[in-house]
Structure 1
């Protein structure tokens, strides 16, 4: 049973790191206890040399397994079984070579049997293993010299050791079965939560898709209906006004001429509503394309020339060069770029409504102190004391504040108007290009 990359390690039932940690700790304690009993608490017996060599091999293997666990590397079923089987074989060989029944090395059977029980998880398989091990140990103890000394109650000690081996295996088997059951419940609960989250995400995506489709239908209806009608109305008013003036109906021509900016403004507002119903930017955050389209559309509707300059902004991985290019680039986050586009959109609409300008210059520049956006026209301007009272500047100021920026209007009667937005440094992905 394998897990996906999104699932926790405990969901992998073929990874035995969790129970092998227990086996490694038990093995260390028993190895240490055996070494103390046979090499420190009692005189050294030359016959223990072979057992010592086997013990060193077990120590080396346990060190390797311990390091593997400390590194967080997975431990497969084959590795866990092989380690426990080697323990059993080495212990049995050591007992058979040396003092047989009187050899205290038999205590190493316990971690080996626990390891096998924790890996197999099957009660019947665990019983087969422990029966084979106890059978081999009993045969060595009974049939190989010095054998059992009945006067010393060796038979009862043998039965007790075998009984303890069975108890250890049964307890380990119960523990691993309970632990695996809890893990299975946890995995199932985790997958249920993941499935529920996926359903919520899918439902949210479907809802957004339906909303986008609805906006697209409304936008298409506005484009094919209202926008086309307003465009035709604007052209007809211009044509009729020109004809009236040429035919001598000056007063009628002047009145019609006053309706031309009204019709253009209505068309521009309609186009803005259409933009509100669709994403201002593509998924890649193409600021340049959005602003170029905005400027071209404004110029086409209003007959006001637009000079657009973008400096030191990284658009789709390409540097947009400009005057004073310092070589440093910045990639705007889509949310910030969208707000900036909306600010420029609203400022251009104000130019058409109020300025009477023939040209407007839009500058957008990245500086070490942040991003500067300015919209400057050559129109009639107005009294700066009335800035807070109208001219549609409230929305621009509000958007600038949302970005943590500053908003300023520089104007006077007959001197045009300059709107200046200064934004703090953004958290983009920066790149440095060669000059």
Structure 2
């Protein structure tokens, strides 16, 4: 009887040990996944935020160089504006490096934060938002960085003279659209790229969707939506939900 009891005790101890090992393995996997997700989040924020500002600054510096001999006064004004924006870009980069969203976005919301970015853009950018109410921090951050990425693409690739950003809240979703009047592109000949793929990943993590529409000579429209009360999904099998062709 004592032998049988010892066997049962050993079986229980073995089962407990295996259960604890499984808990440890699962905990380690969650930790690794969380660290990787945080790394990717910071990488996307730096790419979509600070990089967009630097692209705009580079465009303004080139313009100032072109104006140097033709209109020195205007060139000097542009350089002074660029100097101020460099300081702001550095501050934003410090915030992002600490994993902090832009203070203006956290304090005053999407419209204020995007309006500040629009003033720095190298082309006229109109923000249409109506009486937009605050959404969850996750939803606002996702839309903010997606719009910055879209505006960066306008500056880099489209040759557009202007862009329009539209924000709305419909059926429990925060929706956005970035429309430009640039050269457009043939969607049948363009594959996925890192920029807009990152946008698709960002909205998909919150259960949202992204669509890109374009054709040669007709400009480009980037549109997306995320649930108003978004929180990041942890299901590793949840992939990007996108409509249309996503490029970057």
TM bracket, shorter-chain basis = 0.5 to 0.7
Tell me the equivalent position of 1:275: 92
Residues 1:414 and 2:220 are matched in the alignment: no
Residues 1:308 and 2:131 are matched in the alignment: no
CA distance in 2, matches of 1:410, 1:422: 15
How large is the Cα RMSD of the aligned pairs?
3.6
395 and 348 in structure 1: CA distance in 2 versus 1, 3 angstrom threshold: same
Query: Which of the residues 350, 359, 365 maps onto 2:153?
Result: 350
* 2:127 alignment partner, SS class: strand
Greater helix proportion: 1
Alignment of 1:374-385 (within 5 A): 374-385=177-188
The Cα of 1:313 is off from its aligned counterpart by: 2.0
Tell me the equivalent position of 2:166: 363
Contact kept, 8 Å, 1:280 with 1:341, in 2: the verdict is no
Higher relative contact order (CA 8 A, sep 6+): 2
CA distance in 2, matches of 1:354, 1:420: 18
CA distance in 1, matches of 2:153, 2:85: 11
Tell me the equivalent position of 1:284: 107
Residues 1:234 and 2:62 are matched in the alignment: yes
Aligned pairs, how many? 161
Tell me the equivalent position of 1:341: 144
CA distance in 2, matches of 1:232, 1:374: 25
CA distance in 1, matches of 2:210, 2:107: 27
Greater strand proportion: 2
CA distance in 2, matches of 1:385, 1:361: 25
Alignment of 1:38-57 (within 5 A): none
CA distance in 1, matches of 2:141, 2:109: 10
* 1:357 alignment partner, SS class: coil
* 1:404 alignment partner, SS class: coil
The Cα of 1:360 is off from its aligned counterpart by: 0.6
351 and 427 in structure 1: CA distance in 2 versus 1, 3 angstrom threshold: closer
312 and 344 in structure 1: CA distance in 2 versus 1, 3 angstrom threshold: same
Tell me the equivalent position of 2:191: 388
CA distance in 1, matches of 2:161, 2:85: 16
* 2:65 alignment partner, SS class: helix
Tell me the equivalent position of 1:405: 208
When Rg is computed on C-alpha atoms for both structures, the one with the higher figure is 1
CA distance in 2, matches of 1:346, 1:339: 11
Unaligned runs of 5+ in 1: 1-222, 244-263, 315-330, 429-435
357 and 351 in structure 1: CA distance in 2 versus 1, 3 angstrom threshold: same
CA distance in 1, matches of 2:185, 2:86: 23
